[in-house]
Structure 1
Amino acid sequence: MKKAGLIILMVGLSLSLFAQSGKLSDEKRKEFEAQKIAFFTQEMELTPEEAVVFWPLYNEMQQKMRVENDKIRALTCKKEKTAPVTTEEQAKKNLKTVLDAEQAAWNIKKEYTDRLLKVLPAKKVWLMFEAEQKFRHQLWKKMENKPVPVPR
């Protein structure tokens, strides 16, 4: 129980760091990542031996998925004043790009789930999925209470 309280405190601190600026400095990002590692390790009940094999695979998966998600964000998160009027042809191209990126992200998740299942019990891989949801939920909950900066 004591460990759970410490993990929650660490996640709370990391979420407040993120919410303060909207973007993380390198120092804050490292602190945030350390807290994410602690949260996942606790939630997944990873042994030190399991953590050694899990984290390189998980980080590799996240990096590949980030590339695909960046493709989507590049199209869907443009600032209003710089976004050109979308033509029918551009809309079709954008839809294909987004769907291809989502499919690629799904393929990456499937590939790495299969790879993780070779080195971890299925229960711990499942707990990873749950930890991702819990961590994301806590992040959103924390961000709900912070004002959103207005883009200029």
Structure 2
Amino acid sequence: MVLTAQGPARDRIKTLKVAYITEQLGLTPTEAQSFWPVYNAHEEQLERIRKKEREKFVGVQTDMSVITDEQANDMVNSFVFLQQQKHEIEEKFIKDLRTVISNKKIILLFRAENNFKKRLLQEYRNKRGQR
């Protein structure tokens, strides 16, 4: 999940996410003690990749006529490289998770993350609609 909120809002979202995932997975205290360091390390690694993506692609000119073929090639290569890094991070994450929680709870984690994102997006849309 991309947490684009800043400061207290980001902390609030993170706290809600931790509570939601803990509840949805039904983590025992022992599991939680092993799970959260693995999960947090994974999130930090993904955030570093997301930061590189933002630096590389967000500021890109939308007018493709000013980008040379060489620049476009470099951008595509960077994109592929970052996607490969994400894939490697995900593989390691699954491998590490399997040492601390069951495969069923890993599936529940994926569901919980997706549901949390949906709920967060819906809440954002509702608040935006009230303005």
Q: Same fold (TM over 0.5)?
A: yes
Which of residues 98, 108, 126 in structure 1 aligns to 2:89?
108
Gaps of 5+ in 2: none
Structural mapping, 1:10-29, within 5 Å: 23-25=5-7, 27-29=8-10
RMSD of equivalent CA atoms: 2.3
Match in the other structure for 2:103: 122
- 1:65–1:108 CA contact under 8 A, matched in 2: yes
SS in structure 1 at match of 2:22 = helix
CA displacement, residues 95-116 of structure 1 (integer Å, 9 cap, x when unaligned): 1111111110111011011111
Aligned counterparts of 1:102 and 1:70: Cα–Cα separation in 2: 13
- 1:44–1:128 CA contact under 8 A, matched in 2: yes
Aligned counterparts of 1:135 and 1:80: Cα–Cα separation in 2: 33
SS in structure 2 at match of 1:53 = helix
Aligned counterparts of 2:66 and 2:111: Cα–Cα separation in 1: 40
Quote how far apart the aligned CAs of 1:91 are. Answer: 0.7
Aligned counterparts of 1:113 and 1:59: Cα–Cα separation in 2: 13
Aligned counterparts of 1:63 and 1:41: Cα–Cα separation in 2: 19
Report the CA distance shift for 1:43/1:109 in structure 2 as closer, same or farther (over 3 A).
same
Task: Kindly tell me the number of residue pairs found equivalent between the two proteins.
Answer: 125
Gaps of 5+ in 1: 1-17, 148-152
- 1:54–1:116 CA contact under 8 A, matched in 2: yes
Please tell me the residue identity of whatever aligns with 1:58.
Answer: Y
SS in structure 1 at match of 2:124 = helix
CA displacement, residues 70-123 of structure 1 (integer Å, 9 cap, x when unaligned): 222223322759x99321111110111111111101110110111110111111
Structure 1 vs Structure 2: percent identity of aligned residues?
27
- 1:71–1:97 CA contact under 8 A, matched in 2: no
Structure 1 stretches of 4+ moved >4 Å: none
Match in the other structure for 1:6: none
- 1:44–1:127 CA contact under 8 A, matched in 2: yes
* Structure with more relative contact order (C-alpha pairs < 8 Å, separation 6 or more): 2
Match in the other structure for 1:38: 19
